């Protein structure tokens, strides 16, 4: 199954500028990025074999130095090429060109994956697709397995309206993306079987940590 907007959000055209853009915390959409990355580094200290969904240019995987193997997954070949160069000294990384959802259908899982991470990628999925991903992630992981998601999120529909009033210049950006609604997605993650905790890094950047 391929996600509906896979090609729309394929970052090939902006790959060369992506790192400068994503690390510009003067932009409210990017604020909290550094804190979220540090949080992921801390949360993955005991992880052995990980999947980095929507790995982009490899910034998230570059934070992780304790894993025995990382599967870096992205649909953008240009982003993967940058990630390969950035992570060329890490022999424990496997790069896979795939859509976020298609990956689960194609990858032969032997239940050795203990952690699935994703940063600033799942907001490219529709709400129904997010729920499908949650279910696939749960079935992929062994008991005790972890999900660590950092992304652009609204607490609720009401919170979205508050953010649109606070950041009127960003309304078009908000409407063009598919931000998480934490209240809805938290319930879905819990109904799938995850025990979760939510952490806020800025108005728009949040983290969700879940265990199976």
Q: Cα–Cα distance between 180 and 192 in angstroms, integer?
A: 17
| CB of 80 closer than 8 Å to CB of 104 | no
Give helix 15-22 / helix 77-86 axis angle, nearest 10°.
60
Residue from 157, 153, 69 nearest 113 by CA: 69
pTM of the predicted model as reported, rounded to 2 decimal places: 0.93
CATH fold, domain 12-211, is Rossmann fold (3.40.50)
Q: Mind listing the pLDDT tens digit of every residue in the chain (212 residues)?
A: 788 867 767 777 777 787 777 788 999 999 999 999 999 999 999 999 999 999 999 999 999 988 999 999 999 999 999 999 999 999 999 999 999 999 998 887 766 899 999 999 999 999 999 999 999 999 999 999 999 999 999 999 999 999 999 999 999 999 999 999 999 999 999 999 999 999 999 999 999 999 99
* Angstrom distance (rounded) from CA 149 to CA 122: 8
Where in the chain are the domains?
12-211
């Amino acid at each position: 199954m391929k996600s509906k907007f896979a090609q729309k959000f394929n970052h090939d055209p902006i790959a060369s500028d992506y790192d400068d853009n994503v690390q510009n915390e003067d932009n409210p959409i990017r604020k909290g990025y550094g804190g979220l990355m540090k949080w992921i580094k801390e949360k993955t200290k005991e992880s052995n074999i990980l999947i980095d969904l929507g790995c982009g240019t490899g910034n998230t995987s570059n934070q992780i130095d304790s894993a025995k193997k990382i599967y870096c997954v992205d649909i953008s070949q240009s982003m993967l090429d940058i990630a390969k160069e950035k992570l060329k000294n890490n022999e424990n990384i496997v790069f896979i060109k795939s859509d976020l959802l298609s990956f689960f259908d194609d990858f032969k899982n032997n239940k050795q994956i203990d952690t699935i991470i994703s940063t600033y990628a799942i907001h490219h999925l529709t709400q129904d697709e997010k729920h499908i991903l949650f279910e696939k992630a749960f079935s992929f992981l062994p008991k005790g397995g972890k999900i660590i998601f950092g992304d652009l999120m609204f607490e609720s529909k009401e919170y979205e309206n508050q953010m649109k009033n606070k950041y009127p210049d960003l309304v078009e950006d908000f409407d063009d993306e598919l931000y998480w609604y934490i209240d809805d997605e938290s319930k879905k993650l819990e109904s799938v079987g995850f025990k979760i905790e939510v952490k806020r890094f800025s108005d728009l950047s949040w983290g969700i940590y879940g265990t199976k």
